[in-house]
Structure 1
Amino acid sequence: MAKMMKIAIVDDEKDMRQSISQWLALSGYDTEAFASAEEALKSLGPNYPGIVISDIKMPGMDGMVFLKKLMSSDSALPVIMITGHGDVPMAVEAMRVGAYDFLEKPFNPDRMTELVKKAAGARRLTLDNRALRQELSDGGQLMKKLIGSSPVMERLKEDILDLGQADGHVLIDGETGTGKTLVAHALHAVGSRAGKKFVLVACSAFDEDALEKRLFGPMMPEDPRLPAVEEARGGTLVLEDIEALSDRLQARLLGMINDQGSPAETRIVAICNMQEQDRTCEDALRPDLFYRLAALRITVPPLRQRGEDILTLFTRSGEALAEEYGCDAPQVSAQEAAQLLQAPWPGNVRQLINVAERAVLQSRRGTGTIASLLMSDHEEMQPVMTTEGKPLKEYVEAFERMLIDNTMRRHKGSIASVMDELCLPRRTLNEKMAKYGLQRADYL
């Protein structure tokens, strides 16, 4: 935390600036000092990645005016004010304006460090929440997380863009681990409700009484949240594992939907995760509720239908995990690529990421192969090879695309380096990149 947060120190006294800066630097903070409020304002924007320590009495713009300007720019920026002896009433006024806290000279450096730590923690939480809200409202970023260019994924992305602009309720179904919740996020982010509330309730995580309270209220006294139907008003309410709703709660949800009329004030996105053989979402829900929710429907494709996306997902997951573990990503041979493509992946993307992580850990130890993971005896990780064959041409093209993609990533888009490593002339490389939809700009 300390190394990630900046501390802006604003004081017209050079000795005070230096002593505070040196003390906090020893505690691991990244400090920057300013001799005046006017100078500091040039560097302190609305999303400043840290906190501010400022003297109250300064020539030119004093600390109170400075504080008010900071609060008007970013009311959640923690500002610790330094006051002289007898300036406590002014410090109290600063707290009223929005200061995080104040220190009275002469102050204990340990007390300052403790206060800075708390303020930095509060700032990190604010910035993380803002980043999450930005991500949820940025449909383009979320759509990029739907990795893959297979025909079924292209259709899924088109469906998301189309249904995101619609106003009706949506039912999302598909096998476990396919990314249904990510699709729900993307639906909200690309639609007209993007700037409004997005509330997700995992229905299977509650017993019936607790789920009823979470959805419709009244909430428990110790829970400050509104009931989900109130919290999501005007936005999107996502109900994961909607099949976990009892008949009584399904009836109550249907009543709420009917009361809203059309167009709906709150959009319901229901995620159904039926895995039982010969049972569907339609079997699990009341017919009247099912047809209200399924007027707009998205089925997320299983990984085994996504062709070369499997290799793209595996290599990108391996690269990200290798970076996290501080080692090289495992290299996929042609035989292993074929095995990855043939596996039925009952756990879908979630299972693939687990296999990729185990492959990275094996590679770091210098033991094992991807093939050994795919033939694991552990049932939850065992993607036994399918009996369905594919034309040799599909395997060759998928492996070729993966190889070019990996090499471009490793060389950060350097065409000359890729040509040299793969022994390809420029024209051939350009033709293959165009064939596989690879663009140099994505690797720079």
Structure 2
Amino acid sequence: MSKSMKVAIVDDEKDMRQSISQWLALSGFDTETYESAEEALKGMSSDYPGIVVSDIKMPGMDGMQFLKKLKSVDSALPVIMITGHGDVPMAVEAMRIGAFDFLEKPFNPDRMTELAKKATQARRLTLDNRALRRELSDGSAIMNKLIGSSPAMERLKEDILDLGQADGHVLIEGETGTGKTLVAHALHAVGARASKKFVLVACSAFDDDTLSRRLFGPTDEDQGLPAMEEARGGTLVLEDIEAMGAALQARLLTAINEQGSPSETRIVAISNLQDEGKTIETEMRSDLFYRLAALRITVPPLRQRGEDILTLFTRLSEQYADEYGCDAPEVTAQEAAQLLQAPWPGNVRQLINVAERAVLQNRRGTGTIASLLMADSDENEVAMTTEGKPLKEFVEAFERMLIDNTMRRHRGAIVNVMEELCLPRRTLNEKMAKYGLQRSDYL
């Protein structure tokens, strides 16, 4: 861990900064030295990949001024201060300002190494969380289960980023199979509690007595801590919150109120309530509902996600094709339209099943996607959603899928893609730009 993280050593005394650098280098750190704070500041940014070790007493900009400057650049940058004998009160003031820790000269080199390891661990966690936040906002690799660029998915990602950084309790709603638990994971991952525990409890899996013990204790010896204790400081996710009885709701409300504000443990409640005439608001006691629904996210159903359906189907069928050692099925224009028009009552979970069965059918050389959609329908024909889509949307979604699939198959080899699709280079470039496809993603 330490080898990939830098340690900037700032001290006007050459012998001191060189001795610190040599010791930390022997301990596996990547060190760089500066003789003044002014010089060191030139190499600092909000994403500096490491930590700072600085003397307090320096000519020009002293360590205290330097610390304040660094905190204005990045408030989460760990700074270890070195102080001479008799300057401990100044070091304590540095801690108040935001220093990670301090060492008094002469210090034990092993203590320096120990502090540097702790500081770099904290720094790595901060940078990883920031990278995760950026990648989620771009919809890229680390959160690739949140696939899609439809307006509905873009709004969902923005909600996750915004509410992830907030600290209130959250209520997640949506139809079965839309990915509400994944959203709960994402909320935790992009927030300040990412380094803390993520604990999930499915309320509908227990009767109220068992659920009470699971949440509040006492638990059996082999079950570990009750969930409220286990998730302390982190995130507790309560799936199927509507399954919780009235007495248990009251106990949960009491536990929440006892935490004070801000809450020690963040609660994310997930509602799967879809009974006609019922809402989560009517099924829960109002005071608990308003505590848990301080922040709300509604996960969109698959039928509202447009061309995301084809993107998801393509990715899923490729994954299953790799798993089963066969080719993924090629989707015709008619099948693409059928996928886009299907009502998807089971949402993404249903699409996963259809993609797997499509790959198995293709391996046997029998069946069509339409037959799979028909099998999932109660009708004798492929069910279509009542949410009408214009012809232009079908054409563009199919065109994007064709280009995406061909680019993947040829690993971004533009000439091969041009030949297969019979498109001139300029037209292909224009269409890729239109659909947000980048060659670098396929190399």
- Normalised to the residue count of structure 2, the TM-score between the two structures is 0.67
Report the CA distance between 1:221 and its aligned residue: 2.5
Aligned pairs for 1:197-346 within 5 A:
197-223=197-223, 225-346=224-345
Report the CA distance between 1:385 and its aligned residue: 1.3
Distance 1:419 1:377, change over 3 A: closer
Letter in 1 for 2:385: T
1:336-375 deviation line (CA, Å, top 9, x unaligned): 0000000110000000010111111111111000011111
CA distance, structure 2, for counterparts of residue 188 and residue 222 of structure 1:
27
Report the CA distance between 1:143 and its aligned residue: 3.0
CA distance, structure 2, for counterparts of residue 194 and residue 420 of structure 1:
47
SS of alignment partner, residue 423 of structure 2: coil
Aligned pairs for 1:114-153 within 5 A:
138=132, 140=135, 142-153=142-153
Report the CA distance between 1:387 and its aligned residue: 3.6
Letter in 2 for 1:160: I
CA distance, structure 2, for counterparts of residue 142 and residue 237 of structure 1:
22
Report the CA distance between 1:381 and its aligned residue: 13
* Residue in structure 2 matched with residue 125 of structure 1 by the alignment: none
Mapped contact 1:344–1:383 kept (Cα < 8 A): no
Aligned pairs for 1:182-193 within 5 A:
182-193=182-193
* Residue in structure 2 matched with residue 158 of structure 1 by the alignment: 158
Larger mean CA deviation between 182-191 and 272-281 belongs to 272-281
Mapped contact 2:198–2:234 kept (Cα < 8 A): yes
Letter in 2 for 1:293: L
RMSD: 2.0
User: Is 1:400 aligned to residue 399 of structure 2?
Assistant: yes
List alignment gaps of at least 5 residues for structure 2: 1-27, 29-127, 136-140
CA distance, structure 2, for counterparts of residue 294 and residue 382 of structure 1:
41
SS of alignment partner, residue 145 of structure 1: coil
Aligned pairs for 1:52-91 within 5 A:
none
Report the CA distance between 1:440 and its aligned residue: 1.2
User: Is 1:181 aligned to residue 190 of structure 2?
Assistant: no
1:160-213 deviation line (CA, Å, top 9, x unaligned): 000000000000000000000000000000011111111111111111111111
* Residue in structure 2 matched with residue 30 of structure 1 by the alignment: none
CA distance, structure 2, for counterparts of residue 351 and residue 380 of structure 1:
17
SS of alignment partner, residue 144 of structure 2: helix
CA distance, structure 1, for counterparts of residue 235 and residue 178 of structure 2:
21
Mapped contact 2:188–2:198 kept (Cα < 8 A): yes
Report the CA distance between 1:144 and its aligned residue: 2.8
CA distance, structure 1, for counterparts of residue 427 and residue 301 of structure 2:
33
CA distance, structure 2, for counterparts of residue 382 and residue 227 of structure 1:
50
Mapped contact 1:142–1:186 kept (Cα < 8 A): no
Distance 1:186 1:436, change over 3 A: same
Aligned pairs for 1:16-55 within 5 A:
none
Letter in 2 for 1:169: H
CA distance, structure 2, for counterparts of residue 343 and residue 202 of structure 1:
30
CA distance, structure 1, for counterparts of residue 350 and residue 142 of structure 2:
21
Mapped contact 2:377–2:383 kept (Cα < 8 A): no
CA distance, structure 1, for counterparts of residue 209 and residue 153 of structure 2:
38
SS of alignment partner, residue 339 of structure 1: helix
List alignment gaps of at least 5 residues for structure 1: 1-44, 46-133
Distance 1:147 1:383, change over 3 A: farther
Distance 1:380 1:269, change over 3 A: farther
* Residue in structure 1 matched with residue 16 of structure 2 by the alignment: none
CA distance, structure 1, for counterparts of residue 380 and residue 353 of structure 2:
8
CA distance, structure 2, for counterparts of residue 278 and residue 383 of structure 1:
29
CA distance, structure 1, for counterparts of residue 142 and residue 241 of structure 2:
23
Mapped contact 1:376–1:382 kept (Cα < 8 A): no
* Residue in structure 1 matched with residue 62 of structure 2 by the alignment: none
Letter in 1 for 2:320: L
CA distance, structure 2, for counterparts of residue 200 and residue 262 of structure 1:
22
SS of alignment partner, residue 237 of structure 1: strand
Report the CA distance between 1:413 and its aligned residue: 1.3
Mapped contact 2:173–2:298 kept (Cα < 8 A): yes
CA distance, structure 2, for counterparts of residue 358 and residue 290 of structure 1:
40
* Residue in structure 1 matched with residue 425 of structure 2 by the alignment: 426
Q: How many residue pairs get matched?
A: 310
CA distance, structure 1, for counterparts of residue 260 and residue 167 of structure 2:
12
SS of alignment partner, residue 270 of structure 1: strand
SS of alignment partner, residue 434 of structure 1: helix
* Residue in structure 2 matched with residue 348 of structure 1 by the alignment: 347
Distance 1:378 1:307, change over 3 A: closer
Report the CA distance between 1:222 and its aligned residue: 2.9
Distance 1:382 1:163, change over 3 A: farther
SS of alignment partner, residue 418 of structure 1: helix
Distance 1:207 1:291, change over 3 A: same
- Normalised to the residue count of structure 1, the TM-score between the two structures is 0.67
CA distance, structure 1, for counterparts of residue 149 and residue 382 of structure 2:
23
Letter in 1 for 2:362: S
SS of alignment partner, residue 304 of structure 1: helix
Report the CA distance between 1:142 and its aligned residue: 4.7
CA distance, structure 1, for counterparts of residue 243 and residue 409 of structure 2:
45
Q: Percent identity?
A: 79
Mapped contact 2:213–2:219 kept (Cα < 8 A): yes
* Residue in structure 1 matched with residue 365 of structure 2 by the alignment: 366
SS of alignment partner, residue 269 of structure 1: strand
CA distance, structure 2, for counterparts of residue 258 and residue 322 of structure 1:
51
Report the CA distance between 1:377 and its aligned residue: 6.0
* Residue in structure 1 matched with residue 51 of structure 2 by the alignment: none
